[in-house]
A and B are shown apart, each in its own frame.
Chain A
Amino acid sequence: AQKVTQAQTEISVVEKEDVTLDCVYETRDTTYYLFWYKQPPSGELVFLIRRNSFDEQNEISGRYSWNFQKSTSSFNFTITASQVVDSAVYFCALGGYNTDKLIFGTGTRLQVFP
């Protein structure tokens, strides 16, 4: 069975703090993809990153970075020097081999206060 767990339901930080959102996944596939999406208060879903299971290199994009560790089945997302505009619900998702659907976690609501 495939599953994505985002244990942190809600996180509150003050602007400029660093924050890490956890994502743990379960799959029997050896080939799979992991995704992060952002859902701001306006409600749309914004694609942030895709990572395949053979690429464990960490990725950095501006203030965003992702840490993929197959040994712990985790794909964590860190926002450095958070800003109020980062306030949103963040979803981690898994795409498995031989399936076209994404399995989403329940999301982590991040609130960044000024």
Chain B
Amino acid sequence: NAGVMQNPRHLVRRRGQEARLRCSPMKGHSHVYWYRQLPEEGLKFMVYLQKENIIDESGMPKERFSAEFPKEGPSILRIQQVVRGDSAAYFCASSPLGGFQETQYFGPGTRLLVL
């Protein structure tokens, strides 16, 4: 029973390029969450999605960041025109149902480094 999968595990981009981070939830999970962890800090919520719907994007920066979870395929977190401040670990989590009572299971994260 595979856990949450994220790829790539490490991503290096130059300033101004685009970064695409992928997340495949656990089997049977239809709720996906993205969090960002800046160096030496805790995780901060970015966005919560269900299939084809964004439920809560209150933690997403207003510009350059977008997320989707299509009917088929993984969830994608897209960062356009990356800047050095985007360097962080991006974690995806999934749960079978939404709601605060559900445990969120995390993937291994994608470490983004912007040069």
B is a partner of A: yes
- Which residues of A line the B interface, CB within 8 A? 4, 32-33, 35, 37, 42-47, 50, 52, 91, 93, 95-107
The answer for the CA separation of A47 and B103 in the assembled complex, in Å, is 8
| Contact status of A45 and B106, CB under 8 A, knowing A33-B100, A95-B100, A96-B100 | yes
Instruction: Specify which chain A residues have a CB less than 8 angstroms from the CB of B42 in the assembled complex.
Output: 4, 91, 104-107
Sample 18 A-B pairs with CB under 8 A, ordered by A number.
A33-B100, A35-B103, A43-B109, A44-B109, A45-B43, A46-B106, A95-B100, A95-B101, A97-B100, A100-B56, A102-B33, A102-B35, A102-B45, A102-B104, A104-B43, A104-B44, A106-B42, A107-B42
Q: How far is the CA of A45 from the CA of B34 in the complex (A)?
A: 13
- Kindly count the residue-residue contacts between A and B in the assembled complex, taking CB atoms under 8 Å apart: 66
List B residues at the A interface (Cβ < 8 Å): 31, 33, 35, 41-45, 48, 55-56, 58-59, 89, 91, 93, 98-101, 103-109, 111
